[in-house]
Amino acid sequence: MPDVRGRRGEAEVFFEDLPTMYCGLSPHARHFVHPDFGTRLIDAIFWKKFVPLGRPGVWAKVKCLKCGKNLTKEPAALGEVGGVLEIKDAPPFKIRIQGPVTTCPRCGTKQLKATKEVGTDVSSAAVDAFKKIKLEP
């Protein structure tokens, strides 16, 4: 599978070796390797911490995903985070996300700024990447 990327708003998502099922005949669409792949992908990105994303904590304070320190609300610089995703019933693949990144003052972990807008942009950028390769659930 060739590398594929999608972009929306402030986010750009890059997939490397994204697993798909497809027929070698060109008019046929690609499909997820498992019916739950899309849901599992979103869970892996936003909830299982494979890709750093700061999370709102108690009283809407955003905490570092690694050490739990409160992150500042200062403007984030554009940067990149990424990692290898291991999703059930699919081979591992790499993901990189460019967008507004903040760095934890305690442990130095870079993570995407935890805002609704960034989350929406990341999800939409992934969908944009899927559309580029005609990937369907």
List pLDDT tens digits, range 18-51: 999 987 776 778 899 989 998 999 888 887 665 5
Indicate the number of domains in the chain.
1
The Cα 91–Cα 33 span in angstroms is 9
> Could you tell me the pTM of the whole model?
0.84
Query: What sign does the CA torsion over 45, 48, 52, 54 have?
Result: positive
Write out the residue range of the structural domain in which residue 19 sits: 4-136
| Joined tokens for residue 132 | 């580029």
pLDDT of residue 119: 85
> Which has more pLDDT, 114 or 125?
125
